[in-house]
Amino acid sequence: MKRAYLFPGQGAQYPGMGKDLFDQSEKARELFRRADQILEFSITDIMFEGSEEDLKQTRVTQPAIFLHSVILAEIAGESFHPDMVAGHSLGEFSALTAAGALSFEDGLSLVFKRATAMQAACELNPSTMAAIIGLENELVEEICESIDEVVVPANYNTVGQIVISGSHAGIDRAIEMLLEKGARRALKLPVGGAFHSPLMEPAREKLAAAISNAPIAPPRCPIYQNVDALPHTDPGKIRENLMAQLTSPVKWTQTVQNMLRDGAREFIEVGPGKVLQGLVKKVDREAQVGSL
């Protein structure tokens, strides 16, 4: 039975996250302290003592979730033995680091550059996202294409649940049209911008430059990447997919389906929250899920 390890993305953060790891493990304390040095501010203070509002800032949220996930995998030691890994959006960087393709320092530096580039892109292009529940993928795609604004599928989260991304006017129009077509729910998300859409192009350009200079090694197991939902071990292809990730949809449903096809029967979520476990169960009720 193959085991897949899954790493969550933005939205899984909570006040006090990681404090238990810091208190229990010398290895965790060492990595958290190193993170403060790399980032040149005390992210540990914000994670352990900050408010929900403090943690919502993209430049804090992304490195905080990365740290929680990667440190969990690190202190698990030999019990962290994946046959395959995947990460949702930001979680792809956590997965690559936990699987040895990126060093801790390089992974954290890339995540922080990603977060600051995304925050800048959000300020440049005011935009948003919305969750659409209860419609087939093809119908959502068709409606998005018909709108004369930037609106695209951003996250294929699970069967019957897609997040769309775009301009405020485009998302408003899409919600109206999708509800008319029978969507059970269509609601805006409390996010700062249109992630995984063409509006993230300024951020993609900044991040691509950093990714091109980061050393990437072959991971110790295949990583199923967001852009194509396929397993990869070649550093060149991993790099190419990472560069495309910010402006491409997260093919999460397809990723889980492909992992199941390739023999995964147990899915372990590594990081804060249980969102990914729930998404897996909606794809395959028989799949075993758990957390590290």
Domains of the chain: 2-123+198-291 (3.40.366.10), 126-188 (3.30.70.250)
Task: Determine what percent of the chain is predicted with pLDDT higher than 70.
Answer: 100
Average pLDDT score over residue span 146-167: 95
When pLDDT is averaged across residues 157-172 and rounded to a whole number, the result is: 95
Stretch 197-208: mean pLDDT: 94
Whether residue 276 has pLDDT greater than 90: yes
| Alpha-carbon distances of 142 from 112, 134, 147, 168, 245, rounded to whole Å | 35, 15, 9, 19, 22
Q: Which of 193, 201, 139 is nearest to 170 (CA)?
A: 193
Rounded to whole angstroms, the Cα distance separating 125 from 113 reads 18
198: its two tokens: 């063409």
| Catalytic-residue membership of 168 | no
Res 78: pLDDT: 87
For residue 163, is it left (φ>0), alpha (ψ between -120 and 50) or beta? beta
Predicted confidence (pLDDT) per residue in 75-107, tens digit? 999 899 999 999 999 999 999 999 999 999 999
Quick check: 292 pLDDT over 90? no
Q: What is the mean pLDDT of residues 232-240?
A: 97
Say which residues have a Cβ less than 8 Å from residue 250's Cβ, sequence separation at least 6. 9, 88, 89, 154, 155, 156, 157, 196, 226
In this prediction, residue 192 carries a pLDDT of 80
User: Active site residue: 69, 196, 232, 248, which one?
Assistant: 196
CB-based contact 74:27 (threshold 8 Å): yes
Closest CA to 205 of 269, 117, 106, 122: 117
Active site residue 94: no
Q: Find the helix or strand (DSSP H, E) in which 268 lies.
A: strand 264-269
Q: What is the pLDDT of residue 154?
A: 97
94 contacts: CB under 8 Å, gap ≥ 6? 7, 65, 66, 69, 70, 73, 87, 107, 270, 271
Asked if 238 and 232 count as a contact pair (C-beta separation under 8 A), the reply is yes
Instruction: Return mean pLDDT, the chain.
Output: 95
Put the strands of the sheet holding 185-188 in their side by side order. 151-158, 161-167, 127-133, 185-188
Please tell me the predicted confidence (pLDDT) of residue 57: 85
Mean pLDDT over residues 273-284, rounded? 94
Q: For residue 116, how many C-alpha atoms fall within 13 Å in the half-sphere facing its CB? A: 8
| Active-site position among 68, 69, 89, 248 | 89
Pick the closest to residue 181 from 138, 224, 214 (CA basis). 138
Average pLDDT over residues 170-186: 96
- Give the pLDDT score at 12: 86
What is the average per-residue pLDDT within 2-31?
Answer: 95
**pLDDT at residue 69 greater than cutoff 90:** yes
Place of tokens 């792809």: 92
Per-residue b/e over 48-82, b at no fewer than 16 CB within 10 Å? bebeeebbbebbbbbbbbbbbbbbbbbbeeeebeb
Residue 283 · residue 256 · CB < 8 Å: yes
For 10, list phi and psi in degrees, rounded to 5.
-60, 140
CB 12 within 8 A of CB 273: yes
Question: What torsion, rounded to 10 degrees, do the Cα atoms 242, 86, 61, 67 define?
Answer: -100
| Lowest mean per-residue pLDDT among 152-166, 184-198, 235-249 | 184-198
